[in-house]
Amino acid sequence: MFDFNNNPSAISRRQMLGHTGMGLGTIGLMQLLRDEGALVAADNSLSRTQPIAARGPHFAGRAKRVIHFFLNGGPSHVDTFDYKPALAKYAGQTLPTTLATERKTGAAFPSPFKFRKYGESGIEVSEIFSRTAEHIDDIAVIRSMYAQVPNHEPSLMLMNCGDSAQPRPSVGAWVLYGMGTENQNLPGFISMCPGGLPIKDTENWQAGFLPGAYQGTYIDSHHKLLSKLIENIEHPHISASAQRRQLDLLNRWNQRHSEAHQDERLDARIHSYELAFRMQQDAREAFDLADETQSTIDRYGPGVHGRQTLIARRLLERGVRYVQLWHGAGQPWDNHESIESNHRQLAGELDPAIGALLTDLKQRGMLEDTLVLWGGEFGRTPTVELGGDGSAKQGRDHNHYGFTVWMAGGGIKGGTVYGATDELGFRAEENPVSVHDLHATMLHLLGFDHEQLTYRYAGRDFRLTDVHGRVIREIIA
Amino acid sequence: MKNAVISWWLRRIVLLVSFAILPPTSLHAADDEAERFFENHVRPIFAEHCSSCHGPDKQFGGLRLDSWQSLSEGSDSAPVVIASNAEDSLLIQAVRRMDGVEMPPDNPLPEKDVQTLVHWVKTGAFWPKSEVTPESESQERAKNHWAFQAIKQSGPPPVQQTDWPINAVDPFVLARLESAGLAPSPPASRAALIRRVSFVLTGLPPTVDQVQEFVLSTDPDAYSRLVEDLLASPHYGEKWARHWLDVARYSDSKGYVYAREERFWTHASAYRDWVVKFFNDDRPINDFLVLQIAADQAAKSEYDLAAMGFLTLGRRFLGVKHDIIDDRIDMVCRGMMGLTVGCARCHDHKFDPIPIKDYYSLYGVFDSSIERERSIESTDQLDPAYLAELTKREQALAERLAAVRKETADRVRGRVGDYLAAQFELEKYPGDTFGQLFQETDIIPTIVRRWEEYIRSAGEHQDPVWTVWHQLVAITDLPPAHFAAEAKQICQAAIQAKSTEVHPLVATALKTPPRNPSEIAKLYGDLFASIVQKVSADPALLSPNESGDPVFLDSTLESLRPILYGNDSPCEVPDEPIVEIELYLDIGSCEQLWKMQGEVDRWAISSGASDRRARVLVDRAKPTAPRVFKRGNSLRKDAIVPRQFLAMLAGDSRQPFANGSGRLELANEIVSPDNPLTSRIFVNRIWGNCFGKGLVDTPSDFGLRASPPSHPELLDWLASRFMDQNWSMKDLHRQIVMSASFRQADSGPSDSDMLARAREIDPTNALRWRWSPHRLTIEELRDSILKATATLDRSIGGKSVDLWNAPFPKRRTIYGTVDRQFLPGLLRVFDFANPDLHIAQRADTTTPQQSLFFLNHPWTLQQASVLADKTSEIEDARNRIAKMFQMVLLREPTGEELADAIAFVSHAEPKQNEDTESTTQQWSYGYGAMNDDGSIRQFNLLPHFTGQSWQGGATFPDAALGWIQIDATGGHPGNDRDHAAIRRWIAPAEMVVKIESHFVHEPPQGDGVRVFIARSNNTPRILTQASVHQSKAELNVETVRVAKGDTIDFVVDINTGLSYDQFLWRLKLAEVAPPNQDEGTAKNSVWDSVEDFESVPPEQVDAWQQLAQVLMGTNEFLFVP
């Protein structure tokens, strides 16, 4: 789409920057340029000098931004959004399935949680996501996801980067590459994970072969100090006014230097200092919850997930393109044992926050163009996991044959269920949806033809969905 | 006749196997299912009913039903098939005979076939991908492609402006400019030129003295002498090695590995140093390439074995062999020849003439090679204690490995019947990307697959043991009654066959023919079990022959032995390192062996010994015969291909590789002077890294999609000269940097019309009408700043160091640890090459995060402070400013700049101010000994900061300072009373403070710690103290008066012994009103040990430091004109 090998266009960068101003102003300019047919020329240089400047996708998308709740470790679909009453019928019996999973499992294991119907759509949801379920009429539940293998590492890569083995750009990086971000004063793609990194570490939000500018910015949301949230976001010792004086001097000298040397990158860099200066203040405001009321904070729930989700809303409001919220370091949802207590606790941390976020987005009119995605790297077996000695551990093993994700907002048809697993929830049977299909659908909602959003690397035009992917039109409003 | 029958059997087997083994819902399976449906149901309909009119011979209506392109783009009228939309697809309308189109014209399709086509279209109209480009067309284009033509030797072209060229490069450049009606720029200023050529050749700027000397020199050879000096500098190799390390996706760590394995390489830095030295020594580049592929066979010194890091330091891909080999193929083909052979992993290359078979020919080369790691240091250079421990660990590993291999083989031999039964339900045993955890009692899929391959291969060789097996397997899809009858016939025929056709023991077993398929496995299984039983009852049956290998004396038994015993037996685990064989093992053994391997690796890495290690590939005793994997799926094996070079380069005379794996032959083919790609690729990389842009702008892809070279004759001239000059990189550099083309100014032609014309017709400077300014890479940037502050450590080579955390080593950036799993965000922000992937050319972006680095990064601030300190003795402000300009920008300031800078420093705000009323700077973190009188002996600051805690070094506990550590909430005392952990507070002004603190020692073990609060300015020094063990203490001090600079120390040391001494200590100092004074006079400052503990070490920042920072942040510093 963009060619990084090409050099600057003939457009005067200085002229252009004079118009752009900062942040949101860029969009207007991009529109102007597009109308004037100048964008093609501008794109090449923009990708170098302002790689994350906002730009339009292939067509008018329904969603402008994405928030992804990543329940890392693999949430159990049969305990959350894929009700399987038949499990009770077979409780304790060995199922006739021979699907291989990572470890050995035993008899059918009915969900310990109560399900009931919610909303006008009457979709069944587990009690542990009751607050989320209040929004079920805005949600499309995909119950027929499948992945390739029952292991975390490849499945995380598949879900996040579209390829389970090779180093490839993450979904957020592709989106940023495709459409930039609306607020140049904040990173365009932010991954928050409290307390450390998930499995596969920063690979989950990598830029792969795309330029580093598209990589996700990692934030350990456990911290409260801004300096610990974003690298180099503040000077440890001097004030903003002292720094402003530094910048004024630097600008004066850089301007003088630019006059003698024709290179758009010089101007771009002067501009980027200004953005960096503003970013310090904007980031402070975005991450500081002081201006939220106590009742808002309470609605999102206590603890780091409430805070993280509320910060995410503030980031989305400020034009951040892609926010990923992880549940925590490692793989919290990987409940091989005692799933009842573990899932209840984990969902309890997340459910109020998701409910409050959906409420707030809707109230602000943002839900219609914000795509909310919920899911893990795979689901869990409807059978009970067996320990080495053959004893049941009251947990579930990994299940990539069938699992659930859901989406809301951003052009999604609410109150929909798409696809189904078999009677017991082991394997996607009706309308199976691959991870590539999910990605194709997300890109479509953002305004991209997933086959056209490409980047030339190693002699090939790569895309997020490789050679696969089908847009699931049935869940689009 | 018999052969024909067998090959018919075999075809059926292949079919059966390829359908049976797929995991039913894997992604590949989804496509495979679509493909199977298409091939079995859809294509036959087209073939039977349509192809006579819409096929290769006739295309009525412009339509071919054997080409997806034709189907989707449509006939003469409209698209014939719209995927997923049956209603609107012309094909469906036609076969339904709607809307006047009726196909086939004479007889309607049977309803079943119509339904089949509808289903096919509805589900996406799957079409096999490999048919996109007809082979012949691609071959035709390839034949004429510029990069595949022999390198042409031609002299420099004639030019008009004959006084411009300096050397042979220039006429090529000038001729292109002149033919485009353009002119070159005037020469760059001498100041710009020396800076430029220094960066290009060594990655470092010159000193201000060197600049002045060069500018003032009247020696006509001054430039050429400068170039020679730079080429001879040891920093030359460092600069150019880093470019190659981008190509070689260099990393000090393996990338993601399971926690059981050591995640750092033991051999990476030796490889990096080898590249640096190779370039410094100007050894021939053809040797450079050969050694990196086959040093095990081509090296003349131990040291050169390090070269193979090129292949062996890629990602581990979770141990999946196919991906590791794919990475190696990509490195060799794209890195050295600019061919994207990796594209042919799943299907024939779409653009270049690289069939899938050629990919698997190379796959076989690497699959026939295994990794071995060893020291390349001569043992007398190494500490005997280090070697003794290393040997001990290696032996322990080797012994356990041998034991595990034997235990595993015995287990497999004990249940051969089960492994044979598994051949009938292969779908239960997914491929090696599917990670299941196995216990000792499980059937191991890798071994099942090894049996599968063994039996298949035996069938191909008409092995008398397995012939009947294959005959029986081929009839397993018959109904049960038929099966029994037919099996009986097969068995009767076999019993009567010659012993060379059917093994006598098998013939005996066949006297009871199998009644159902599962009895085939049982029949063979029982036969093998009986032999294993005999051996375990009487081990003497297997007696050593003259070469020491155990054999059966009984020749009938002996002919079955290789199936059960011996290295090639499918029961045996190959005699290879754990990294090669982990998939054969149960999870317990696997983890245990990795742990022991990790102990070997960690000892080599962290012992402090400078043991250079090499990880090489060596050939397997018996090379493998590669098979094509259909669609890249290792479970769908297709035809066997020879190990051999690429057809497009080897031509008609291609011969299979004959020596071992063929790696050396492959390497020699790559550097053959007849190979049109290798030298072109290399010189283009060098040119590109000198000019910022190659003559071909896709440096690692010279295939059909590559754009043509901007200067094809120059590329060929450089490539052929390069080879003539014995592949000398320094000679190549000399040609480039001595040229007038290289020495142009960045301004463009002095004639303004000419400049305007150049900008208009060649805005990207493809024709080199000027020098394109170069933005410093992160390496050049960091090295330049260190050079500006006169702190750069210029030593060459050695272990990698963590550059971006305090105490910020001063080595050149190439020696920084590249941890591909935790690459500092900063590096990616500055477009550092992604160490996971072969990077031909770094991106060049400008982002706010880069600016934040200049504004706020602790290292930048530290360097600014160093620069301010180094000039602090210059009292006159103007002189000091001038000195700073010289150090950073290598020139004097202009009058205007001087005035700006004077104004800046004289109006700077005081370093403390209201916004950042900082309470962090009063704290320091160190160690020392507590004297009995409460004074501190030898207080030292702790040298290493992790971002979370202060401690002795990057590894904890530190070799020298031991367990001492101080973090926000507490810490750990050092190993003895001389290493008490001391948190020191220094009074910023005269004041009275009050101290409140809460101390906790939790562990029941050990005997706890001693705790003191002591002051420096008065006696008694000790304000309060306690001895705490598994308890808490409130240590408070009501009031202490301090003068500016006095210290209060918070000291923890061990009690009688070192054991479980970690502690928590939160403390607060609050400024209070002095006794007898009004409360209002106190400023109420509060120091809190937790809140004030910052991730950044405290620095003093004054106006001079701020000025130094501005200079380092200028574009003049960051760009090379």
User: Does the beta-carbon distance from A253 to B1109 stay under 8 Å?
Assistant: no
User: Is B758:B771 a contact under the CB 8 Å cutoff?
Assistant: no
Residues facing B1014 on adjacent strands: B1022, B1049
Among chain B residues, the shortest Cα distance to A216 is held by B825
Cα B969 to Cα B345: distance, rounded to the nearest angstrom: 54
User: Does the beta-carbon distance from B856 to A232 stay under 8 Å?
Assistant: yes
User: Is B264:B802 a contact under the CB 8 Å cutoff?
Assistant: no
Residue type, B31: D
User: Does the beta-carbon distance from B84 to A228 stay under 8 Å?
Assistant: no
Q: Of B544, B546, B543, B550, which Cα lies nearest the Cα of B566?
A: B550
Helix axes of B222-232 and B729-738: crossing angle, nearest 10 degrees: 150
Complete DSSP assignment for B612-659: -EEEEEEE-SS----EEEGGG-TTSEEEE--S---HHHHGGG-----S
B823 touches chain A (CB under 8 A): yes
Among chain B residues, the shortest Cα distance to A22 is held by B848
B759 touches chain A (CB under 8 A): yes
Cα B334 to Cα B246: distance, rounded to the nearest angstrom: 12
pLDDT-based confidence at B530, cuts 50/70/90?
A: very high
Q: Of B731, B722, B714, which Cα lies nearest the Cα of B682?
A: B722
Cα B93 to Cα B108: distance, rounded to the nearest angstrom: 12
Specify which of B271-280, B513-522, B830-839 reaches the highest per-range mean pLDDT: B271-280
Residue type, B692: G
User: Does the beta-carbon distance from A150 to B436 stay under 8 Å?
Assistant: yes
**Chain A residues with beta carbon closer than 8 angstroms to that of B830:** 212
Q: Is the model more confident about B168 or about B947?
A: B168
Residue A91, min C-alpha distance to chain B (Å) = 25
B828 touches chain A (CB under 8 A): yes
Which pLDDT score, from 0 to 100, does residue B58 have?
Answer: 65
* Token pair of A162 as six digits: 């579209």
B1006 touches chain A (CB under 8 A): no
Residue B334, min C-alpha distance to chain A (Å) = 8
Cα B172 to Cα B710: distance, rounded to the nearest angstrom: 10
Question: Nearest CB to B1110: which of A8, A249, A428?
Answer: A249
Q: Which residues, 6+ apart, have CB-to-CB distance to B334 below 8 Å? A: A458, A459, B340, B341, B342, B700, B701, B838, B840
- Tell me the mean pLDDT in the region B919-942: 86
Complete DSSP assignment for B806-851: TT---B-GGGB---TTS--HHHHHTT---TTS--SS------HHHH
**Chain A residues with beta carbon closer than 8 angstroms to that of B1121:** 261
Among chain B residues, the shortest Cα distance to A148 is held by B26
User: Is A186:A283 a contact under the CB 8 Å cutoff?
Assistant: yes
- The secondary element (H helix, E strand) that includes residue B1061 is none
* pLDDT tens-digit map of B319-365: 899 999 999 999 999 999 999 999 999 999 888 999 999 999 999 99
Cα A406 to Cα A429: distance, rounded to the nearest angstrom: 17
B259: Cα within 13 Å, side-chain hemisphere: 3
The conformation of residue B189, written as its DSSP 8-state character, comes to: P
User: Is B509:B556 a contact under the CB 8 Å cutoff?
Assistant: no
**Chain B residues with beta carbon closer than 8 angstroms to that of A98:** 428
Cα B579 to Cα B448: distance, rounded to the nearest angstrom: 19
What's the N-to-C CA distance of chain B in angstroms?
Answer: 79
Cα B349 to Cα B343: distance, rounded to the nearest angstrom: 6
pLDDT-based confidence at B388, cuts 50/70/90?
A: very high
Which residue do the tokens 């359908």 mark? B19
* Token pair of B1065 as six digits: 């200590």
- Tell me the mean pLDDT in the region B165-170: 97
**Chain A residues with beta carbon closer than 8 angstroms to that of B772:** 7, 263
Among chain A residues, the shortest Cα distance to B838 is held by A458
Question: Nearest CB to B434: which of A10, A149, A276?
Answer: A149
Cα B1085 to Cα B332: distance, rounded to the nearest angstrom: 64
- Tell me the mean pLDDT in the region B741-745: 97
* Token pair of A130 as six digits: 């009751």
Which pLDDT score, from 0 to 100, does residue B83 have?
Answer: 77
Question: Nearest CB to A261: which of B343, B763, B773?
Answer: B773
The conformation of residue B59, written as its DSSP 8-state character, comes to: B
Cα B529–chain centre separation: 46
Q: What is the percent of chain B with per-residue pLDDT over 70, rounded to a whole number? A: 91
> 3-state secondary structure string, chain A?
CCCCCCCCCCCCHHHHHHHHCCCCHHHHHHHHHHHCCCHHHHHHHHHHHCCCECCCCCCCCCCCEEEEEECCCCCCHHHCCCCCCHHHHCCCCCCCCCCCCCCCEEEECCCCCCEEEECCCCEEEEHHHHHHHCCHHHEEEEEEEECCCCCHHHHHHHHHHCCCCCCCCCHHHHHHHHHCECCCCCCCEEEECCCCCECCHHHHHCCCCCCHHHCCEEECCCCCCHHHHCCCCCCCCCCHHHHHHHHHHHHHHHHHHHHHCCCHHHHHHHHHHHHHHHHHHHHHHHHCHHHCCHHHHHHHCCHHHHHHHHHHHHHHHCCCCEEEEECCCECCCCCCCCHHHHHHHHHHHHHHHHHHHHHHHHHCCCHHHEEEEEECCCEECCEEEECCCCCECCCCCEECCCEEEEEECCCECCCEEECEECCCCCCEEECCEEHHHHHHHHHHHHCCCCCCCEEEECCEEEECCCCCCCCCHHHEC
> 3-state secondary structure string, B967-982?
ECCEEECCCCHHHEEE
* pLDDT tens-digit map of B1029-1069: 989 999 999 889 988 888 999 999 999 888 889 999 999 99
- Residue B608 gets the label, from left (phi > 0), alpha (psi -120 to 50) or beta, of left
| B268 CB-contact burial (10 Å; exposed 0-12 / middle 13-18 / buried 19+) | buried
Backbone angles phi, psi at B12, to 5 degrees: -65, -35
Q: What is the pTM of this model?
A: 0.79
ipTM, interface predicted TM-score of the complex: 0.83
SS3 B958: strand
Which residue do the tokens 């496995």 mark? B521
pLDDT-based confidence at B17, cuts 50/70/90?
A: very low
Cα B258 to Cα A167: distance, rounded to the nearest angstrom: 17
Residue A304, min C-alpha distance to chain B (Å) = 19
pLDDT over 90 at B118, yes or no: no
Which pLDDT score, from 0 to 100, does residue A27 have?
Answer: 34
Cα B1080 to Cα B1070: distance, rounded to the nearest angstrom: 14
- Tell me the mean pLDDT in the region B987-1012: 90
pLDDT tens sequence for chain A (477 residues): 333 333 333 333 333 333 333 333 333 333 333 333 333 333 445 666 778 889 889 999 999 999 999 999 999 999 999 999 999 999 989 887 778 899 989 999 999 999 999 999 999 999 999 999 999 999 999 999 999 999 999 999 999 999 998 899 999 999 999 999 999 889 999 999 998 899 999 899 999 999 888 999 999 998 888 888 888 888 887 888 889 999 999 999 999 999 888 788 888 899 899 989 999 989 989 999 989 999 999 999 999 999 999 999 999 999 999 999 999 999 999 999 999 999 999 999 999 999 999 999 999 999 999 999 999 999 999 999 998 778 888 999 999 999 999 999 999 999 999 999 999 999 999 999 999 999 999 999 999 999 999 998 888 899 999 989 999 999 999
User: Does the beta-carbon distance from A236 to B856 stay under 8 Å?
Assistant: yes
SS3 B734: helix
- Distances from the Cα of B1032 to the Cα of A170, B1003, B1013, B1080, angstroms: 49, 11, 16, 35
Complete DSSP assignment for B426-460: GGGS--TTS-----TTSPPHHHHHHHHHHHHHHHH
- Distances from the Cα of A419 to the Cα of A35, A108, A144, A474, B324, angstroms: 42, 22, 5, 10, 36
Which pLDDT score, from 0 to 100, does residue B1100 have?
Answer: 42
Cα B754 to Cα B185: distance, rounded to the nearest angstrom: 10
**Chain B residues with beta carbon closer than 8 angstroms to that of A431:** none
What's the length of chain A?
477
**Chain B residues with beta carbon closer than 8 angstroms to that of A101:** 436
Which pLDDT score, from 0 to 100, does residue B553 have?
Answer: 83
Q: Of A41, A80, A66, which Cα lies nearest the Cα of A179?
A: A66
User: Is A197:A186 a contact under the CB 8 Å cutoff?
Assistant: no
Residues facing B54 on adjacent strands: B59
Question: Longest Cα pair distance anywhere in chain B, in angstroms?
Answer: 121
The conformation of residue B187, written as its DSSP 8-state character, comes to: B
Q: Of B846, B908, B826, B893, which Cα lies nearest the Cα of A248?
A: B908
- Distances from the Cα of A351 to the Cα of A193, A465, B375, B907, angstroms: 17, 31, 55, 54
Residues 174-203 of B with CB under 8 A from A: none
Cβ atoms within 10 A of the Cβ of B942, count? 24
Question: Nearest CB to A428: which of B23, B25, B334?
Answer: B25
* Token pair of B794 as six digits: 């210029």
User: Does the beta-carbon distance from A245 to B909 stay under 8 Å?
Assistant: yes
SS3 B793: strand
pLDDT over 80 at B53, yes or no: no
User: Does the beta-carbon distance from A265 to B825 stay under 8 Å?
Assistant: no
